[in-house]
Amino acid sequence: MAKVITLKIAGTEFKTGEGKTILELARASKIFIPTLCNFKGLSNVGACRLCMVEVRGVPRLLPACATQVAEGMDVTVDSPRLAKYRKMILELLFAERNHVCAACVSNGHCELQALAQRLGVDHTRYPYRFPKYAFDASHAKFNYDANRCILCTRCMRACDEVEGARTWNVMGRGINSVMVTDLHQAWGRSPTCTSCSKCVHVCPTGALSEKGSAVGEMVPRENVIPYLTSMRYSGR
């Protein structure tokens, strides 16, 4: 018989089984916790740090996507401390690359943009880096604009864990990290890409897009990965 765990999230008491993360339980209960790197059907990496929460008795913040529920937990998902921390992360993301929403194919369908609006981020206190990343339009069907990438690695995980191609990877370290295809060659010359579009449809920004999409027209098909993952584990 599975052990039943009792805990509180945002003041509401829950009873659930072992093995779930705080984020999974919160989402199932319609409790909002922001995140950009987490995606249903893909592994958790805790990359964006936006889902950090407070747990009573624990001095440090914990990532909700990678922290499993435990007996007696009392989780705070919204507080002045968390609001300040999340705004800082979003401001740094905007300052790190070249995000110009008005000229983006994902304008109105961008998770970074939506979170900024929801969390009240309308400017950044940090100096813009204005990196000079090239726009890769070498693929027959898709575009890659590293200027809009937030390094969530969703594309890499979808390509590896679902498609099995492992075309995408991270090159570099720290603030100079960038997503690349194969051994840093043009996407259109990739010998491993299957043109499945999974990476494009898990991208939370306009970094990956379908060719032919004008400003505001790139709408991700977010149900693709969860559907394929559920079919795989159901044995169909």
Confidence label for 70 from pLDDT (cuts 50, 70 and 90) = very high
Given phi > 0 = left and psi -120 to 50 = alpha, else beta, which region is 148?
Answer: alpha
What is the model's pLDDT at position 228?
75
Confidence label for 221 from pLDDT (cuts 50, 70 and 90) = confident
What is the model's pLDDT at position 93?
97
Phi, psi of 105 (to 5 degrees): -65, -20
Report the relative pairing of strands 4-9 and 12-17 from DSSP bridges. Answer: antiparallel
Its pTM stands at 0.91
3-state secondary structure of 33: coil
Outline where DSSP puts E strands in the chain.
Answer: 4-9, 12-17, 52-55, 62-63, 74-76, 135-136, 142-145, 168-171, 178-181, 208-210
pLDDT in tens, 20-52: 999 999 999 999 999 999 999 999 999 999 999
pLDDT in tens, 89-129: 999 999 999 999 999 999 999 999 999 999 999 999 999 99
Question: How is residue 234 written in tokens?
Answer: 């159901």
Domains of the chain: 4-77 (3.10.20.740), 84-234 (3.30.70.20)
Angle between helices 111-119 and 80-96 (to 10 degrees): 140
Question: How is residue 170 written in tokens?
Answer: 């991270």
Check pLDDT > 70 for residue 234: no
**Across the chain, what does the average pLDDT equal?**
93
State the CB neighbour count (10 A cutoff) for residue 10: 15
